[in-house]
């Protein structure tokens, strides 16, 4: 049976590096998705996550409710992401992994082109959403968070989270449906 966040936080407070490593592995994907929803750039989201986890480790004693470590951590991520967007802006460069993918010979160019096109459509669709809608959509549909958990993180009533999710899904369907119709 996996240890609870509260137990891992207590162990990490006592200097157990493995416990904090387990917290990082457990919450890295959600942290990345929250950062990505705010800044929109994968490389920046990676940097923000790394920064946020370092901050969390340094301030672990400030986590008043270890059983709610995830919400505490994701608030740090959101704050870092907002600061990054506000003071540095989003870089316009092509991420290194995409540049490398285009430079090397592809095993299946047709499949790679289709995936690249789909990735771009999804990215463009996500850009049409508000920041809150992106966060709700990514946390709910990709991470499997419950409406209540998202509401706790974003300080929103559960019904508002449901509304944001509904609106985000509708906009994505419209955007992706429109893009598919343009091709035909």
**What are the boundaries of each domain within the chain?**
5-87, 109-183
How far is the C-alpha of 10 from the C-alpha of 182, rounded, in Å? 55
At residue 184, the pLDDT reads 42
Q: How many residues are recorded in the chain?
A: 184
pTM of the model: 0.64
Q: What's the pLDDT tens digit per position in 110-134?
A: 787 778 887 888 888 888 899 899 9
Tokens of 50: 């790394």
Tokens linked to 77: 């991520």
Give the distance from CA 39 to its chain's centroid: 10
What's the mean per-residue pLDDT of the chain?
A: 84
Question: What is the CATH architecture of 5-87?
Answer: Orthogonal Bundle (1.10)
pLDDT tens figures, 68-95: 999 999 999 999 998 888 756 434 445 5
5-87 and 109-183 have identical folds: no
Q: Tell me: the pLDDT tens digits for 49-60?
A: 999 999 999 999
55-59, 66-70, 141-145, 164-168: lowest mean pLDDT where?
A: 141-145
- CA–CA dist 54, 10 (Å, integer): 17
Residue 59 CA to residue 57 CA, distance in Å, equals 5
* Fold designation for 109-183: Arc Repressor Mutant, subunit A (1.10.10)
102 vs 12: which has the higher pLDDT: 12
């Amino acid at each position: 049976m996996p240890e609870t966040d509260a137990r891992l936080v207590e162990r990490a407070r006592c200097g157990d590096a493995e416990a904090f490593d387990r917290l990082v592995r457990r919450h890295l994907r959600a942290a990345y998705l929250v950062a990505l929803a705010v800044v929109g750039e994968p490389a920046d989201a990676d940097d923000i996550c790394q920064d946020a986890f370092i901050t969390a480790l340094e301030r672990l004693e400030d986590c008043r409710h270890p059983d709610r470590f995830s919400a505490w951590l994701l608030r740090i991520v959101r704050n870092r992401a907002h600061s990054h967007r506000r003071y540095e802006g989003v870089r316009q460069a092509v991420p290194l992994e995409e540049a490398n993918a285009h430079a090397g010979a592809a095993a299946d160019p047709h499949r790679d082109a289709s995936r690249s096109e789909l990735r771009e459509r999804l990215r463009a669709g996500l850009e049409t959403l508000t920041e809150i809608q992106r966060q709700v959509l990514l946390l709910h549909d990709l991470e499997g968070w419950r409406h209540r958990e998202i509401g706790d993180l974003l300080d929103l009533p559960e019904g508002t989270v449901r509304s944001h999710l509904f609106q985000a899904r509708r906009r994505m369907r419209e955007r992706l449906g429109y893009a598919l119709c343009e091709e035909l």
